Amino acid sequence: MKEIQVTALDFLHLLGIMASCIELIPNARLYMRPIQLHLLSFWRPACQEFKTLVPVTQHLKSHLIWWLNSANTLKGRSLQPQQTCITITTDASKTGYGGVMDKKIFQGEWSVSESKKHINYLELEAVVLTIKHFLNYLIGKSVLIRSDNTTVVQYINKQGGTKSPQLCYKTWELWT
């Protein structure tokens, strides 16, 4: 069976339609990220043409299915900003991490292999671990995450990004 391929321009058109829904569909940006990363893994905008062919893989199809489900795309978002119910503050270093929620503390140390990872990854991992630790308190609530790492703040607020696939995947873990 022959693999389907479409042009980078076709991907950009699709992503443009998806981007127009970001303010209307909950988590639209989050579910765009795997499609953006897929495109960028096969096409380099700075040096390749728009007519470059990009494969439509099974992995990509699994992410496109979310967009075909009307329960996702017709849900809509409130125009009112959500009131924050709970604030969680996190921090990380090359040796360990911690998080605080309502005077409750969660902390740990990185393994030798973890401590070799980039600090942005460790800071985001600290957020993920803290959220998982306090998850029973957070279900159904609006949570404000405080971090001193501006990259982490951006990746959380923008539901991922395209500069670092590793951080994008970690953000996906946080949001899903």
Class of residue 121 by CB neighbours under 10 A (exposed 0-12, middle 13-18, buried 19+): middle
Residue bearing tokens 């405080």:
146
Residue 122 has pLDDT above 70, yes or no: yes
Question: In sequence order, what DSSP letters do the residues of 16-36 get, joined into one string?
Answer: HHHHTTTTTSTTHHHHHHHHH
Contact 163, 135 (CB under 8 A): no
Q: What is the pLDDT of residues 58-78, one digit of tens each?
A: 999 999 999 999 999 999 888
Model-level pTM? 0.90
User: In Å, how far from its chain's centre is CA 49?
Assistant: 27
CATH of 86-175, one of 3.30.750.24, 3.90.480.20, 3.40.47.10, 3.30.420.10: 3.30.420.10
Do 97 and 107 touch, CB atoms closer than 8 A? Answer: yes
Q: What pLDDT does residue 1 have? A: 65
- Mean pLDDT, all residues of the chain: 96
pLDDT at 81: 81
Q: Where are the domains of the chain?
A: 5-73, 86-175
User: In one letter, which amino acid is 150?
Assistant: T
- pLDDT at position 77 is 86
Over 80: is that where the pLDDT of 45 sits?
A: yes
Evaluate whether 129 touches 105 at the Cβ level (below 8 Å): no
64 CB neighbour count, 10 Å cutoff: 14
